[in-house]
Structure 1
Amino acid sequence: MDITRRRLLSALSAAGLLAVVPAGPVGAAAAAAGLARLRANTEAVFAGTPASNARPETAAKLAAVDKAARANLKAMDAAGAGELFAGLALGTDDANLNTAFRWLYEIALATVAYGGGLYGDKAARRRVIDGLVWLHERYYGDQSKGYYGNWFHWEIGISQHVSKALVLLHDEVRAYRPELVRTYVTSMDAYLRNGKNGDVNLDSRFHTGANLADITTNRILQGALLGDEARVRKALTDQLTVFATIDPYRLDHGVTDGYYADGSFIQHASVAYTGSYGKGLLTRVVQTLKILDGTGFAHGEELVPVVRGWVRNGFAPLIFEGWMMEIVKGRAVSRTDSGYTDVAVVVEAVVDLSSLASGTDATALKGYVKHIRETSRATLGPARFVSPVSVVRYADILADASVPAADLNPAARSVAFNAMDKTVHRRPGYAFALARSSARISKYEYMNGENLMPWFQGEGAHYLYLSGQDQTEAYGVDYFTTVSPYALAGVTAPAEQRRTVPELYGKPYYDNPGHPLNFTSSSESQNKYVYFPRGTHGHSGGVVLGAYGAAAMVQSSDVAYRDRALLPGDFVVHRNASATKSWFLFDDEIVVLAAGVGDPAGRAVTTAVDARVAAPGDAVSLTGARRDGRPWSGTGTADLRWLRYANASQGTAVGYLFLDTPRVRVALDDVTRSRRVVRTANPDTAVTRQVFGVSVDRAAGARPVALAYALVPNAGERLLRSHAAGGPLEVLANSTRSQAVSHSGLGLTAVNSFGSGRHEAGGLRVDGPACVLVRRQGTSASALTSVAVSDPTMGRETVGVLLRGRRLRVVSADEGVRVRAVRGGTWVEADTHHAYGRGFTATLRPAR
């Protein structure tokens, strides 16, 4: 269920409040009751209830809450002069100040968590309140001394900890320090400096997506504390905008952050971010729906279908056996938390969403929770859930025999997240995730010393997740720690050594406020050129036909290289290698074509066919066959027809078919590096992995080359030999103008055209640029031909393809698709104007 941002905001403007935010309680008594319920709901969400906390399943959660609070109290006891907590220096470090407020909140939480060891401890509550007074007087209240460092701490993080702590200790604060709420809310409003008059500013680039949800939730709690019904309703009205599906052609307030019709999620204007900010937004809005339940301030049932759509179309494709895919985590790929930890956050949100849904929708969400639990290779520990109530709900779902475990994905699924330049292809034994980029979507995200070597993560980097494997052994932070950033699976990179931002500039950002572009830590120029630069080419897209897919991208340098004449002289820019690439996604094979692979500057270039990591003791073997048929094994450079990587310890294997590829280099090396090489805040922990790489190297000055190969997940040697002897794959074209393959076993022909005009391949004439998939099933008079087309440039009015041969008639077609008989065959044309890369399909059969 999509709510367009324009329709939502126009409704808000016309009605004053959308139906989701009703006129509400009439009269002071009813309003006060609604606000009291809101505060009670907040306490239940974060501290649990007597009923939830009496359940044995919450014991570990309560113990964790108690342990954290006692550690914080111990740090208060040991504090020296000028400290609130021992060892936490304040005054210049905004992260430490944020931590101090968080620790106070954690103590407050323990004192109201029924059944915990500190429950009802009035002395501890007083210490929290006194601590809040102390921090405000010395380090927070003076606006002229605050707001240094990261804006997030001042506008969101600190306000979040303070608002929740004051709600939890509401009665104690009223009795002991009744002025404290007003004092803090006044300061929190003043620190909302990217806002407007101490409130949300929907025109601010800082008040969008997950950030907006956080800010407005804080303001809802503040309204409940003040007894200010109008503040709550205004915050809710602002928060409703995050539920709107982004229409990139009709942006309101210039906002591109949020969920798109194809399931994509973007934050920071151009970063694919479902697995980090996206999950934060999911968590926050579900918590808000729970906080508002029964208060009269909102009708959550109007919004539940929207959030359910996020889960089904945005999150589910990106979660494989309980692991969040790397392609949507931005700088978070460098953190030590695993993809399993990321998914635990999503699971809690889905658990709570299921309690707000009804009927088959609730059953489907509960079944998905069970599916993740059953397929994940990591123990999903509910003790890490935020709410004890969620822990109980989770236990009840697992115990409910009437709810079958069921994935929200079909067993075979291909998804083109074209709004964020990502592709996911799923089969029962594997999942393939592809990171593209373009002039619309960032190549990577670096920020705050996180993801220090990200340069090629959006250059067609892929991640092949194999079923049954513990993905922490295959990917996660250790993959990026031990695999060379120039040799990530799938990328084409020039031979050069780049330096990290801290190495280049001595700090985690480029600082030059005197330059006309005004480089400061969170400036727009910092975002554009340092934190998340985009490419300079607009060709990146894909199309899906049933469960099959095609994707395409033209590699380019980023905007800093293009704009180098505008940038300061000490600002370092990099020129990229060149490549035009396609990925064709079948059942057993993922075919990759690359053309124009080289470097305009004459540097040596390496294309990583794949890169995989294994534990030091894993039994890894490398076998294959040369192009002349002789067997081959081990490492080195050879002219191979096929190669098989097998990890007997993990029970996994990947095959590689070299359809039309120069000599490849195969390597298997033990690599040891500190996790700190990818993130400055990581512990200096040495990690050792066996790093496997298979690549094609081009010497400096060599002419551009074309490559054609296929990844074959879970392949055995017999299958690879049969492919080499004459399998179903045929490369029809591979140039910078057109790339095409056919799969005879599936009846599929796939074409990606990159130039304008006509492109001929496999009985098709494609009006380029375009992505096209055609499948012919059957040979009788009733045989079906299915067609899917899309515009990978997102700028064309129409895209068309001529199916040569017998004339066909329409069985079914998407809106905007026209089919007509022409000389030589059947012309299929789709109106792609303002489709933003969306695919169009038609099903045809022979005309009578």
Structure 2
Amino acid sequence: MPLSRRALLSTLPAATLSAMALPLRARAAGRPAAAGGTTASGAAAGEAHTRLIANTVAFFAGTPDSNARPEVRAKLASIAATARSRLAAMDGAGPGELFRGVALGTSDPNLATSFQYLYEIALATRAPDGGTPSGLHGDTDVQRRVIDGLIWLHERYYGDQSKGYYGNWFTWEIGISSHVSKILALLADALAGYRPGLAATYVASMDGYLRNGEDGDVDLDSRFHTGANLADITTNRILQGAVLGDDARIAKALADQLTVLATIDPYDLRHGVTDGFYADGSFIQHASVAYTGSYGRGLLTRVVQTVTMLDGTGYTTDDRLVRVVQGWVTDSFAPLIFEGWLMEIVKGRGVSRTTTGYADAAEVVEAVVGLAAHATGADATALKGYVAHLRQTSAAPLDPSVFVSPVSVAAYADILADPSIPARDLGPAERHLAFNAMDRTVHRRPGYAFALARSSSRVSRYEYMSGENLMPWFQGDGAHHLYLSGQDQRQAFGVDYLTAVPPHRLAGVTAPVETRHTVPELYGTLWYDNPERGFTSSSQAQNTYVYFPRGTHPFSGGASLGAYGVAGLVQSDDVGYAAKRAGDLPDDFVAYRDADATKSWFLFDDEIVVLAAGVGDGAGRAVTTTVDTRIAAPSDTLTLTGRLRDGARWSGTGTAPLAWLRYGNATRAASVGYVFLDGPRPTVTLDTVTRSRRAVRLANPDTPVTKQLFAVTVERPAGAPHTSMAYALVPNATERHLDGYAGRPLAVLANTTRLQAVAHRDLRITALNAFTPGTHRAGRLSVRGPGSVILRETPDGAMAIAVSDPTTEREAVTVVVRGRWTRAVAADDGVRVSRVPGGTRIAVTTRHAYGRSFTATLR
């Protein structure tokens, strides 16, 4: 059995993380370690540095054995074709250019691109040809052209520190350095014979541009040197150390990188850092953004690359490191990948990019392939089985030529060809995952996956930055993605969903009906520019109020009981609106007020029940609550059928007193049902829309997207009083199935802004969210709120209960189960069960639990 990440990290205190960076050869020889982590020198160090560079070249360029494989030919052809294209662009360069069309002097992206092109040329000269010679491998003339290009860029656009560091800090501290460091490794021999001092010159410049660090090195107290960014910087510095023969640099960089292995404890932060993986599998970057699918993906990739680079060098990659990263794959990534599609709810601004979903998952697959090569026994089998599972279940065949490493391509082919490896997911098909540390919920069944994005005073409502994700305002307000099994998710979600669906009509959202403007429209730049008030690019104020503002209410979270769960959210204004209203922000700063809603989601087997109370707007605006929104190709055949509350059949669009509605896509063999348990009449619409992908991201191509847009909403006109509603989403529903809900297997026990509760009679489950202080009662349960509770009874009289504090602020949550007294036969630490008049009292200590669930089994 793989060791759990929590158990593993309990063996890795901060001192141990540093010790893991010591070279094995130094410890074996009994030599004391220097402060940076090593004292190894001489022949042993030189051999280690040579091996590190060789490993790096092999990873990026491949080996003679890997590149001779037929499966790798497409990757090699891509490397060669890219290099020839870059050489042609170099030949056609005009004044102020190293490559044709990439003007230099004022554009930091263009400068980074120039270094990237040099790397791509250098890579082709180091890639063994295999069976299809490219003519570039080993070409010293081409290598010298790359080196001359480095010299030219350094002399004119990079070396003068007084002229550099314009634009985005990332370009100077990470982007350029990533390309240059790999070039120095790829061309180490060529540099030694042609320009021996250039590597040291570039490393000195890269140190100089590390301006968010300390004395040209990483600063673990810097908000810029965290998580995936820290992994990028330290990977670069490991390579730089190998090229320069600087053992201390390698050891210090590795020790810094290993700090990302530590699970984030929000009650005992190291260096004040909230970025990283949490005990419940959540991943945060940018202090408060749910980011497993972008920055987390990058961190996974970099750490696996580090393991590969250090293999056999004598720098320990202790097997505990591999086990920690395997825990990330199992607990953090696998739950978020459904049939080869990486879910949108954890991508921040990256959700607006055109290459998402299957392409994102491919990067994870390559990391898992690489990790499996360093795992052993059952761990290696599980990782390889997961790779086979993703290949088997994905609707879009993975193209391994998109992998970074030719060696990964060959290893991936070996896994798929091995009949002894069982294709198997890393978790059960039926599971419920409360990623409460990042305000996300994932509920999975064999036929569907439901992904919910929440927000709070701890977690950002959305992320906008750099002209990406231009209309993000409601993405953390309970927006959901309902993925149906067997579908090509590119047709249902991805950038085209974000493009076609108006932002206030995202599935699951309650939003005001009003015109909003993007940041570039408001200010004429990619950010709000007011240096006198602290608003510059990437400043704390910019981050807090513009790029990724948090909400202002603490209630967001829920309880998990086995494969079932309940989640809740009190929708709130973001901190920008609150600060503007308090007079703390400049007059020309624009902030938008949110609508009002208190919501709960009850996640069962066949349905997701949603309750909403206090739905309306304190400012008197019209408000839309979107039950669901789905897109389809213009040629798809859609059917909308239903039954009215009086039993009559219904079809088409419009506003009607529906008991249920069924959306069917005959072309895709997909369907979703909607059961309306209570509330105002829903409105059903079906339109055809055409919008440009550039509407959601400035760098997207101006490609028009035409989609059929289905929506079922509850509309509240301006000035209408606040209301409540209850409905259920039923994935893969038939009309007969939907008619069955007339038998009332679902019962709404309470639906107010104080308490929301549902009973599922068939499953014998009662669940609730208590949003306010005081005692709340629903069915057999009473709870002193705030808190979330889910109870399941069995026919023999046993029951299981789960309790959590979604505010993360309470010392304890107390629940009473009325009826015959029961005793605890199993209970988590922190759970106390006692008898009270008329029932059983469960007292749960929730202090410092950060929203996790506590469970007990009673009989």
TM-score normalised by structure 2 residue count: 0.96
How far apart in 2 are the matches of 1:300 and 1:10?
Answer: 14
Q: For 1:832, which of 824, 838, 846 is the aligned residue?
A: 846
Q: Could you tell me whether the CA contact under 8 Å between 1:76 and 1:85 is conserved in 2?
A: yes
Residue 523 (1) aligns with residue 528 (2): no
How far apart in 2 are the matches of 1:88 and 1:169?
Answer: 24
How does 1:230-241 map onto structure 2 within 5 Å? Answer: 230-241=248-259
Residue 549 (1) aligns with residue 573 (2): no
Q: Could you tell me whether the CA contact under 8 Å between 1:622 and 1:633 is conserved in 2?
A: yes
Q: Could you tell me whether the CA contact under 8 Å between 1:167 and 1:221 is conserved in 2?
A: yes
Q: For 1:295, which of 313, 320, 343 is the aligned residue?
A: 313
How does 1:330-479 map onto structure 2 within 5 Å? Answer: 330-479=348-497
Residue 90 (1) aligns with residue 104 (2): yes
Could you tell me which residue of structure 2 aligns to residue 305 of structure 1? 323
How far apart in 1 are the matches of 2:369 and 2:22?
Answer: 29
Aligned CA distance change for structure 1 residues 367 and 449 (closer, same or farther; 3 Å): same
1:678 to partner: Cα distance:
0.1
Could you tell me which residue of structure 2 aligns to residue 804 of structure 1? 818
Q: What whole-Å deviation, never above 9, does each CA across 1:490-511 have from its counterpart, x for those lacking one?
A: 0000111100000000011000
1:65 to partner: Cα distance:
0.3
Could you tell me which residue of structure 1 aligns to residue 30 of structure 2? none
Q: Could you tell me whether the CA contact under 8 Å between 1:289 and 1:300 is conserved in 2?
A: no
- Give the counterpart letter for 1:97 in structure 2: L
Q: What whole-Å deviation, never above 9, does each CA across 1:499-543 have from its counterpart, x for those lacking one?
A: 00000000110000022xx10011010000100000000000111
- Give the counterpart letter for 1:461 in structure 2: A
Could you tell me which residue of structure 1 aligns to residue 757 of structure 2? 740
Aligned CA distance change for structure 1 residues 477 and 403 (closer, same or farther; 3 Å): same
Could you tell me which residue of structure 2 aligns to residue 497 of structure 1? 515
**Number of aligned positions between the proteins:** 839
How far apart in 2 are the matches of 1:417 and 1:520?
Answer: 32
1:10 to partner: Cα distance:
3.8
- Partner of 2:504: helix, strand, or coil? coil
How far apart in 2 are the matches of 1:512 and 1:827?
Answer: 56
Q: For 1:714, which of 704, 719, 732 is the aligned residue?
A: 732
- Partner of 1:233: helix, strand, or coil? helix
How far apart in 1 are the matches of 2:490 and 2:457?
Answer: 32
Could you tell me which residue of structure 1 aligns to residue 770 of structure 2? 753
Q: What whole-Å deviation, never above 9, does each CA across 1:699-729 have from its counterpart, x for those lacking one?
A: 1111110010000000000010111x22310
Could you tell me which residue of structure 2 aligns to residue 769 of structure 1? 786
Q: Could you tell me whether the CA contact under 8 Å between 2:20 and 2:318 is conserved in 1?
A: no
1:82 to partner: Cα distance:
2.7
Residue 538 (1) aligns with residue 543 (2): no
Could you tell me which residue of structure 2 aligns to residue 203 of structure 1? 221
1:58 to partner: Cα distance:
0.6
Q: What whole-Å deviation, never above 9, does each CA across 1:262-300 have from its counterpart, x for those lacking one?
A: 000000000000000000000000000000000011233
How far apart in 2 are the matches of 1:119 and 1:303?
Answer: 35
- Partner of 1:525: helix, strand, or coil? helix
Aligned CA distance change for structure 1 residues 86 and 26 (closer, same or farther; 3 Å): closer
- Give the counterpart letter for 1:748 in structure 2: I
How far apart in 2 are the matches of 1:236 and 1:298?
Answer: 10
Q: Could you tell me whether the CA contact under 8 Å between 1:5 and 1:246 is conserved in 2?
A: no
- Partner of 1:303: helix, strand, or coil? helix
Q: For 2:646, which of 606, 625, 628 is the aligned residue?
A: 628
Q: For 2:246, which of 228, 237, 256 is the aligned residue?
A: 228
Q: Could you tell me whether the CA contact under 8 Å between 2:388 and 2:422 is conserved in 1?
A: yes
Structure 2 spans left out of the alignment, 5+ residues? 28-32
Could you tell me which residue of structure 2 aligns to residue 66 of structure 1? 80
107-116 or 204-213: bigger deviation: 107-116
How far apart in 1 are the matches of 2:458 and 2:553?
Answer: 9
Q: For 2:858, which of 834, 844, 847 is the aligned residue?
A: 844
- Give the counterpart letter for 2:790 in structure 1: L
How far apart in 2 are the matches of 1:5 and 1:260?
Answer: 13
Counting aligned pairs with the same residue, the percent is 67
- Partner of 2:700: helix, strand, or coil? coil
- Partner of 1:162: helix, strand, or coil? helix
How does 1:23-62 map onto structure 2 within 5 Å? Answer: 26-62=40-76
- Give the counterpart letter for 2:762 in structure 1: G
Q: Could you tell me whether the CA contact under 8 Å between 1:620 and 1:646 is conserved in 2?
A: yes
How far apart in 2 are the matches of 1:346 and 1:168?
Answer: 25
Could you tell me which residue of structure 1 aligns to residue 201 of structure 2? 183
Q: Could you tell me whether the CA contact under 8 Å between 2:22 and 2:316 is conserved in 1?
A: no
Could you tell me which residue of structure 1 aligns to residue 167 of structure 2? 149
- Give the counterpart letter for 2:767 in structure 1: A
1:80 to partner: Cα distance:
1.6
- Give the counterpart letter for 1:130 in structure 2: D
TM-score normalised by structure 1 residue count: 0.98
- Partner of 2:380: helix, strand, or coil? helix
How far apart in 2 are the matches of 1:185 and 1:245?
Answer: 32
- Partner of 2:463: helix, strand, or coil? coil
1:338 to partner: Cα distance:
2.6
- Partner of 1:457: helix, strand, or coil? coil
How far apart in 2 are the matches of 1:828 and 1:262?
Answer: 23
1:302 to partner: Cα distance:
2.0
How far apart in 2 are the matches of 1:431 and 1:296?
Answer: 44
Q: Could you tell me whether the CA contact under 8 Å between 1:492 and 1:605 is conserved in 2?
A: yes
- Give the counterpart letter for 1:520 in structure 2: T
How far apart in 2 are the matches of 1:225 and 1:719?
Answer: 66
How far apart in 1 are the matches of 2:96 and 2:591?
Answer: 44
- Partner of 2:409: helix, strand, or coil? helix
1:829 to partner: Cα distance:
1.4
How far apart in 2 are the matches of 1:488 and 1:686?
Answer: 20
Structure 1 spans left out of the alignment, 5+ residues? none
Could you tell me which residue of structure 2 aligns to residue 795 of structure 1? 809
Could you tell me which residue of structure 1 aligns to residue 120 of structure 2? 106
Q: Could you tell me whether the CA contact under 8 Å between 1:19 and 1:299 is conserved in 2?
A: no
- Partner of 1:563: helix, strand, or coil? helix
Q: Could you tell me whether the CA contact under 8 Å between 1:321 and 1:377 is conserved in 2?
A: yes
Aligned CA distance change for structure 1 residues 21 and 221 (closer, same or farther; 3 Å): farther
Residue 164 (1) aligns with residue 164 (2): no
- Partner of 1:378: helix, strand, or coil? coil
